[in-house]
Chain A
């Protein structure tokens, strides 16, 4: 693979990784898949684009708006869609699954109505290159995107391992029924999970909107790719989503480079069929303490 594709592929990998992390937060603490993440990313991306490119305002405002929308909509999903339907034992049943998919659909339509049906361009919010060695170029923007992504993963990893809240997060997801009986703050944690899911997805949309522009129809695509990244990487630890995201991005890049643009969809389907059937727990396997 040509060297000039490495950094852009890493950027895409970080995008997938953040969406997968958004899924991870809710899966770990509420044993649910927040399928709406793609819609949250689209809203974040389009909001940020509308503010920065549309109104010429600085990126920081765009990102803040994206995060605000993400958190708000994430909470809406928990309050309006999940809480009324989820059974006390927690976890998935097909009513909740269907409702969350409908939530994705609704967010997609909201984005289309609020920000328009055509794709919004992404902005290059930082010009200049940090590294320029022959064909290997690292733009300043790419460096910041990757750095922010890594920083978020490190921070969340530390929060989950080091704080009481973080430990509650994972133990509630492991056995929601027991957690409820023990008086743990199941609802509060779930609200926090959906809020953080929205934050991460919205931020991902804002940071990476420049990659190829964002259209409201991308919501389903983002959810699918984020979901696949999550399954590939697994939920054993917080780095699984990132590994899955980068892995998926490179697989797609190889496919396009060697077999042409249509191969993106062929390979993604093949990888999904393989991983879901053979190894749904992902690359990193949770070690169960016997």
Chain B
């Protein structure tokens, strides 16, 4: 494992603290943070089943909407605690993902992506169409605030919780990746016959990973609705799910942290950096192409390469210089 990789969790935790401090009470930064968490959780969801398991299912606008609308509907129509909407949203979206996965089981590659994108479109249309449940084009609005054990949960609390959730999700997937589940899932993506013949159901692996992804999407939706106090059919459009496909590649597909890095970059490019103005998303698209063609391991991979080169450079000029020289290999 490379030097950098061993420190990834503490570095990520340090970044989390920095971001929380940076966001503070600033409303605009809070909005940015929530956007980043939304993109990040969707990308981590895609990481679970697409990057690891090679299942290119892209209906994330549906899962995020389910998470947000669950909160809105529960808030408006019941007296239950709004935190209950979180597990409800997760279960419903995981169920939808599993059903969709069963229907599309024989599909792979772009066929699967196309069907799931079309499902996402159909779902978006349904949100507008079914005014009874979803409030149609006007969506859902939260009529009461969140409370926990009697005290009010502020916007700042929610944003911090969202950032922590993103960190935990990435950390969890990072650990799962090298665990038996992760290895079986990654093997399924590459050599499904080998996995089947070893007694592990590839269908179960696929469906579970799809459920995990959908659950993460629902969590993103819950936070989005809770912070923005409302959710509309066009709050998280299909294009977000489409863009999110590329995020893990930009950040670096070898690690879930790549998905987080990519989400930060996308949010900055499309919403924040003023010198990109209207062309931020174009810059992202070109960056993705450049990475896919020339730097397949993404930004984290590049960072690792740069650090490794810097370390080699330092060592050559370091105090063990004489000994180092004897061991220096001619560069390949």
A–B contact with Cβ pairs below 8 Å: the answer is yes
Chain A residues near B (Cβ < 8 Å): 33, 35, 80-81, 84-85, 92, 94-95, 97-99, 101-103, 105-106, 108-110, 112-113, 117, 217, 220, 224, 227-228, 231, 260-262, 264-266, 268-269, 272-273, 276-277, 280
Interface residues of B in 206-245 (CB under 8 A from A): 238-239, 242-243, 245
B124 touches A265 (CB 8 A): yes
A117 touches B282 (CB 8 A): no
Chain B contact surface mostly: helix
Q: With A and B bound together, what is the CA distance between A261 and B289 in angstroms?
A: 36
Instruction: From the candidates A220, A224, A269, name the one contacting B239 in the complex (CB within 8 A).
Output: A220
Chain A contact surface mostly: helix
The 8 closest A-B pairs by CB, nearest first: A109-B282, A106-B285, A265-B122, A262-B129, A262-B125, A265-B125, A269-B118, A269-B122
B114 touches A227 (CB 8 A): yes
Beyond A85-B292, A227-B114, 17 additional pairs, beta carbon < 8 A: A81-B293, A94-B54, A97-B109, A98-B292, A105-B288, A106-B288, A109-B282, A112-B281, A217-B239, A228-B114, A260-B129, A261-B125, A262-B128, A262-B129, A266-B126, A268-B121, A273-B115
Of the candidates B110, B121, B278, B286, the one having the most CB atoms from chain A within 10 angstroms of its own CB is B110
Q: Which residue in chain A gives the minimum CB-CB distance to B289?
A: A102
- How far in angstroms is the closest Cβ of chain B from A13? 18
For residue B278, which residues in chain A have a CB less than 8 angstroms away from its CB? 112-113, 117
Instruction: From the candidates B54, B106, B107, B288, name the one contacting A102 in the complex (CB within 8 A).
Output: B288
Q: With A and B bound together, what is the CA distance between A103 and B119 in angstroms?
A: 22
| Interchain Cβ contacts under 8 Å between A and B, 26 examples | A33-B110, A81-B289, A94-B54, A97-B110, A99-B289, A99-B292, A101-B113, A102-B246, A102-B289, A105-B243, A105-B288, A106-B289, A109-B281, A217-B239, A224-B118, A231-B111, A260-B129, A262-B129, A264-B125, A265-B125, A265-B126, A269-B122, A273-B103, A273-B119, A276-B114, A277-B107
Chain B residues near A (Cβ < 8 Å): 54, 103-104, 106-107, 109-111, 113-115, 117-119, 121-122, 124-126, 128-129, 238-239, 242-243, 245-246, 249, 278-279, 281-282, 284-286, 288-289, 292-293, 296
For residue A98, which residues in chain B have a CB less than 8 angstroms away from its CB? 245, 249, 292
Given contacts A98-B292, A105-B246, A220-B239, contact A277 B118 (CB under 8 A): no
For residue B124, which residues in chain A have a CB less than 8 angstroms away from its CB? 265
Given contacts A109-B285, A224-B118, A276-B114, contact A266 B125 (CB under 8 A): yes
- How far in angstroms is the closest Cβ of chain A from B297? 12
For residue B117, which residues in chain A have a CB less than 8 angstroms away from its CB? 220, 224
For residue A269, which residues in chain B have a CB less than 8 angstroms away from its CB? 115, 118-119, 121-122
B111 touches A280 (CB 8 A): yes
Of the candidates A101, A231, A280, the one having the most CB atoms from chain B within 10 angstroms of its own CB is A101
Q: With A and B bound together, what is the CA distance between A8 and B124 in angstroms?
A: 26
Given contacts A262-B125, A266-B122, A277-B104, contact A101 B115 (CB under 8 A): no
B289 touches A103 (CB 8 A): yes
For residue A217, which residues in chain B have a CB less than 8 angstroms away from its CB? 239
Q: With A and B bound together, what is the CA distance between A105 and B289 in angstroms?
A: 10
- How far in angstroms is the closest Cβ of chain B from A92? 7
Q: Which residue in chain A gives the minimum CB-CB distance to B291?
A: A102
A106 touches B282 (CB 8 A): yes
For residue B115, which residues in chain A have a CB less than 8 angstroms away from its CB? 269, 272-273, 276
Given contacts A117-B278, A264-B125, contact A102 B114 (CB under 8 A): no
Q: With A and B bound together, what is the CA distance between A277 and B122 in angstroms?
A: 18
For residue A272, which residues in chain B have a CB less than 8 angstroms away from its CB? 114-115, 118
Instruction: From the candidates B54, B106, B126, B282, name the one contacting A277 in the complex (CB within 8 A).
Output: B106
Q: With A and B bound together, what is the CA distance between A227 and B110 in angstroms?
A: 10
For residue B125, which residues in chain A have a CB less than 8 angstroms away from its CB? 261-262, 264-266
For residue B249, which residues in chain A have a CB less than 8 angstroms away from its CB? 98, 102
A277 touches B246 (CB 8 A): no
Q: With A and B bound together, what is the CA distance between A160 and B190 in angstroms?
A: 36
